[in-house]
Structure 1
Amino acid sequence: MLANLALHTAARHYCQTQSNYWYQHTTEIRQTIPRAQNNYQQMLLESYARSDILTIIRTEIERLDADQLDNIETTRDLILQIGRVAQKTLPHPNMGQPPPQTSQATFGINVDDAVSNERETFCTYIQDLSDSQLQAVQPLPYQRVLSPDESKTKWCQLRNRWQITGPYWHPLHPCSLSNITAFDTDAFEEFCRSCSLIDQLSAHGITRIWELRDYGIEYEQDISLFDPAYTGYEGYWTSDKLDWIVYASHENSTTLGGWLLEEVKAQWSDWEQHTW
């Protein structure tokens, strides 16, 4: 792995691992510290804030295209700058309306020191990474956050190809296409345990996919990260040719279209019993 890519990967690893650590720490606080204790909310919100800032930093790092990184010193400077200044921004309203926003300030608790400490610890880690440590970094699948312009372009292509006119699609919104079918999500996920969609897509030479959401962060991802699930936002997945699609809705439906639908039907003997 090239040194600049190793540094970018190490930063992603660090943010993911440490964010998970602090998120789990909030669970420990809930389970082991009495709520009546004076500093209970302070500890809880500081732990959340540390996890949150690391997620924000990772998101900003993943806006950098790992395929287009400059030399290692330039890459290090970019990542350090992100660590110092990355801020939470409102997710991009790709098709839907923004959900209600909450803020730690609502609780009247200041978590600035915790956030500053987490930034400093991250930057020290990035600054001190040695050549030998970079050589030992384990690879991660490609994942890049789409820019607003890319998102707009991809949504335009997807809407035109698959008759998507709003945040919801078939079966929640009328569509005249014949090569689409909506399944009950629970049944579909059970089918996928024995028949990997990733394998089917890979067999067609697909190595990267697009994950688009009606609201929030969107990605170009390695095929190994394909996970078509509703996360609170409607989700759409496809690739460059737009000749297949998966849509996960808030109504426990999963819609497939194109050649992927035909392959699933060919391998799912009782699929007709599990339509939405």
Structure 2
Amino acid sequence: MLANLALHTAARHYCQEQSHYWYQHTTEIRQAIPRNQGNYQQMLLESYARSDVLTIICTELERLDPDHLDDIDTTRDLIVQIGKIAQKTPPHPNMGQPPPQISQATYGINVDDAITHERETFCTYIQDLSESQLQAVQPLPYQRVLSLVESRTLWQGLRNRWQIIGPYWHPLHPRSLSDITAFNTDAFEEFCESFSLIDRLSTHGITRIWELRDYGIEYEQDISLFDPAYTGYEGYWTSNHLDWIVYASHEDSTTVGGWLLEEIKEQWLDWDKHTW
């Protein structure tokens, strides 16, 4: 792994692991400390704020394309700068004012010291990583946050190909396309325990996919990260030819289209008993 990619990967590892640590710590606080204890709320919100800022830094790191990083010194300076200033950004334009910076205003309690500490610790970690440490960094699957321009272009192509109007699609907004079917999500997920969507896509030479949402962060991802699930936002997945699609809705439906649907029906003998 090239040194600049190893540095970017190490930064992602750090943010993911430390964010998870602090998120788990909030659970421990809830379980171990009485709610009426004077510093309960302060401790809880500081822990959450630490997790939150690390998640935000990771998202900003993933706006960088790991396939096109600058030299190691420039990459290190850029990552440190992200650690110092990364803030929440609006998921979509024209959705109101940007959210406030992570601070006392966000939580109602002063968590600035905790946030500052996490930023400084991250930056020190990045600045101190040695060549030997970089050589030992374990790879992570490719994941890059899509730019607004990319998102708009992809959505336009997806809408044209699959007749998507608004945030919802078939079966919530029924389409008359012959190559789509909506399944009950629980049944579909049970079927996928024995039918690997990732393996099937890989067989067709697909190595990266797009994950698009009606609201929130969108990605270009390594195929190994493909997980078509509703997360609070409608989700759409496809790849560069737009010749297959999966849509997960808030109504416990999973819609599949294109050649992927044909292959699913070949293997799922009683699929017609599990349509939405």
Class of the TM-score when normalised by the shorter of the 2 chains: over 0.9
Query: TM-score scaled by structure 1?
Result: 0.96
The one-letter code matched in structure 1 to 2:70 is: D
Q: Which string of whole-angstrom CA distances, capped at 9 and with x for unpartnered residues, describes residues 33-64 of structure 1?
A: 00000110000000000000000000000000
SS at match of 2:76: helix
Of the two structures, which has the highest relative contact order with CA contacts closer than 8 Å and spacing of 6 or more?
Answer: 1
Gaps in structure 2 of 5+ consecutive residues: none
The alignment partner of 1:50 has SS state of: helix
Give deviations 1:124-155, integer Å, cap 9, x for gaps. 00000000000000000000000011000000
Conservation of the 8 A alpha-carbon contact between 2:45 and 2:107: no
Check conservation: 1:6, 1:134, Cα contact below 8 A.
Answer: yes
The 5 Å alignment of 1:1-276 reads 1-92=1-92, 105=105, 108-276=108-276
Deviation at 1:30, TM superposition (A): 0.2
Following superposition, the deviation at residue 105 of structure 1 comes to 3.4
CA distance in 2, matches of 1:120, 1:237: 37
Q: Percent identity?
A: 82
Structure 2 CA distance for partners of 1:212 and 1:206, relative to 1, 3 Å = same
Q: Could you tell me how far apart the structure 1 residues matched to 2:57 and 2:165 are?
A: 33
| One-letter amino acid of the structure 1 residue matched with residue 36 of structure 2 | A
Checking the alignment, whether the CA contact within 8 Å between 1:93 and 1:215 is kept in structure 2 is no
RMSD after superposition = 1.6
CA contact (8 A) 1:93 1:216 kept: no
Shift of 1:93: 5.9
| Runs of 4 or more above 3 Å deviation | 101-107
C-alpha separation in 2, matches of 1:8 and 1:264: 37
SS of the equivalent of 1:212 reads strand
The alignment covers a number of residue pairs equal to: 272
Letter aligned with residue 257 of structure 1: G
**Deviation, structure 1 residue 107:** 5.2
Deviation at 1:72?
0.5
Task: Give 1:90 deviation, angstroms.
Answer: 2.1
